[in-house]
Structures are given as structure tokens and as C-alpha cells.
Structure 1
């Protein structure tokens, strides 16, 4: 049954599957038993999105304006393994994702049970049970695909972002 408190799904995302009234991001992997693994990333789709300039939420081609969702620890490195988003997909994600909203004060303590064809995030062990970080929206005209910690990532090093805007800092950071 859909959650009555879930944000409305924009028309641009109605092609995506839903769980509990939420649109499932295009890069979210699906386990062999049918479960969507929210908070995990399908490595193949992530790379396809980064290289093909596809939105990580809707899976459609990005326009001239795009946004990277970045944790505080990503900002000094100016790169993230997460694909860019359309501004409208960012708006939905900021309302729908409990981590981005700041409703979770720690990362999950138990890793996802991945199928043999899936790989964990490069920093999964470091995040397991760790305090959540604040998130930022980095608005860009484009990015460069690099290799960071053995995986493809979007980098804006060497270019100037249009703006960097903090999103809700979450319970630990609200004062």
C-alpha cells in the first residue's frame, strides 16, 4: 500500500516502478528476489549514465543543466560516483529520499544482500553504521568522467560550478 505521506511522483517519473508510493530511481538495483535495493547503485547503469549523460533518477538524457548530489566528503575531491540528475529529478529526490532529506542520522548498519552479479559501493565498509553526512546539490553545465577508487565517477575539477547549494543537513547537523 502506498505511503500517504510520500511526495507526489512527477509525470516525468511515471515510467519508473514504484515501491510504497515512491518512484524507484533508474540506477537502483533489483535483487533476484524482486526487491529494489534503495541506497545501492546498479554498477552497469551507473556507468551507462555517467558515460551516456543519462539522469540517475529517470534514466533519460541530461540537458545542458545538470546537478550532482554530493556528500560533504565528496566536495573537496570534486567528484562523486553517483550520476548527475535533471533539476526536476533533484527536486523529487530531495523530497523522497530519507538520506537526502536528512531524516536518517546514520547509514545502514547491515550491508545490502547483493546478488552475485552486483558489487558493493567502494566506500560501503566505511559508511556502514557511520553518521550521515550533509548533502549538497552541485549545479553544473557538464562534468568529466574519471576513475576514482577503481570506479567511474563524475568530476567537475577544473571547471567552475554554477552553484553549490546545501540540502537539509539532517538531525545531527541541525544545531
Structure 2
């Protein structure tokens, strides 16, 4: 599977830094030597985005609709540690992120080289070389911030989602 797709950058995201032609999500950490660690999260920014209801891609306040990008294993728990996104940021993410877009079969086999002041994601070692899961976009009017397995998370438990749209879930084709 190929993992490099460079979709056009939507107008509301034109002001955000890019790397390799891709928008760098606001929650993506940057090392002291200037590398962006795609696929990793800056825990402080992730926490601020969740608590302030800011978009994880552009860092701007969410409006009347929010989209949670969720793995299949997140759906039964109705929560994710990833901050919600604006609908246009979610659409761009579905096209540009190779994991969410379904262009990778497995998570990376080695953890990224972090600066001394950075911590790996809590589930980084569990995901290392693991098979990729199907992804879904969960559209909401709002969410609650909860603690899930010791980490802050966006939850829609007790709320009815506007819709749950499969991104990479593929029904078997009938021949």
C-alpha cells in the first residue's frame, strides 16, 4: 500500500505550517531540530485542545459541529484521546493521513526519535507493528471530556451522534 498522498489544502488551513506538502496538525509535536513527528501527539496541545474544545488540526475553536476520528476499538467505549476536528479538517485528514485514510496495513515498526522532554503516546508500544484498524468519523454537536485509562479523552457516551461514517471500513464485495 502507498502512504504518500498530497491532497489540496483547504482554504481554512492555508495558514498552517506544512511539511512535504501536508498540513502539520496543531497537535503534532516538533523536535528541537525541526522535525515534525506525524502520527505522534504533543500531549500538552492534545490536553488543551480537548479541554478548550479546539480542533486538533488547526487549533481553532470548534463551532456547531465536531468530528471525532475513531478506530473501530474506540467505538464501543464511545471515546478517544484524539481531539475533535472541524468537518473540513476531518475531510482533509481522511485524505492526507495514511493511517486514517486506510493506506497503511500496519502501524510503524519503530517508535519515533523523541526529544528528551517528550513522552511517547500511552499506547505507542502497543500499536508498534500492530495491524491497522478501520477508522470512522463520528459527527457530534458536542462531547464531554473524561478520563479514560488515565488519559483525557473526548466522549459522546449518553449523547446521540449525528452520524457515524466509515472511513476505511470496507464491506466484503459479493462476487
Q: Normalised by the size of structure 2, how large is the TM-score?
A: 0.93
CA displacement 1:26-80 (0-9 Å, x = unmatched): 1000011110000000000001100001000011000011000000000011110
CA RMSD of aligned residues (A): 1.6
**Residue in 2 that maps onto 1:49:** 49
CA contact (8 A) 1:122 1:149 kept: no
- Separation in structure 2 between the aligned mates of residue 55 and residue 33 of structure 1, nearest angstrom: 26
CA contact (8 A) 2:80 2:154 kept: yes
Q: Does residue 78 in structure 1 map to residue 78 in structure 2? A: yes
**Residue in 2 that maps onto 1:147:** 147
CA contact (8 A) 2:5 2:96 kept: no
Deviation at 1:15, TM superposition (A): 1.5
Deviation at 1:5, TM superposition (A): 5.2
- Separation in structure 1 between the aligned mates of residue 6 and residue 123 of structure 2, nearest angstrom: 29
Deviation at 1:116, TM superposition (A): 2.1
- Separation in structure 2 between the aligned mates of residue 117 and residue 82 of structure 1, nearest angstrom: 21
Segments of 5+ residues of structure 2 without an aligned counterpart are none
CA contact (8 A) 2:108 2:129 kept: yes
Return structure 1 stretches of 4+ with deviation > 3 angstroms: none
Q: Does residue 40 in structure 1 map to residue 43 in structure 2? A: no
Report how many residues are paired: 170
CA contact (8 A) 2:137 2:164 kept: yes
**Residue in 2 that maps onto 1:116:** 116
Q: Normalised by the size of structure 1, how large is the TM-score?
A: 0.93
**Residue in 2 that maps onto 1:58:** 58
CA displacement 1:93-137 (0-9 Å, x = unmatched): 111111111100000010111112221111111110000000000
